[in-house]
Structure 1
């Protein structure tokens, strides 16, 4: 069980570093809002985070 928790922590850390490298601090803010909103079951916060991430993805696609 501790090995699974360690692997999950490494995966989350790697994903966060990738988001920060690719999208900067705004990507981290969007990911944080999305995560906090989902854990708190608050649709307004999670929707705001999803919109921030979507806008960042659209900016890099154009």
Structure 2
């Protein structure tokens, strides 16, 4: 179980670094808002984060 938690944490950090490298600070804000919204079960906050990430992805594509 601890190994799975370490691997999951490492993947989360790697994903966060990828978002920051590719999309800058706004990507981190969107990712954090989405993660906090999911953890807190707050659909409005999570939705705002998802919209920010979708707008960044649409802009780069």
TM-score w.r.t. structure 1 length?
Answer: 0.92
Structure 1 stretches lacking a partner, 5+ long: none
Whole-Å separation in 2 of the counterparts to 1:43 and 1:16: 21
Q: Alpha carbon RMSD of aligned pairs, Å?
A: 0.7
Equivalent in the alignment of 1:58: 58
Gaps of 5+ in 2: none
Deviation at 1:2, TM superposition (A): 1.5
Aligned length: 61
Deviation sequence 1:11-50 (CA, Å, 0-9, x none): 1110000000010010000000001111111111011001
- Segments of 4+ moved more than 3 angstroms: none
The 2-side partners of 1:7 and 1:28 are apart by 21
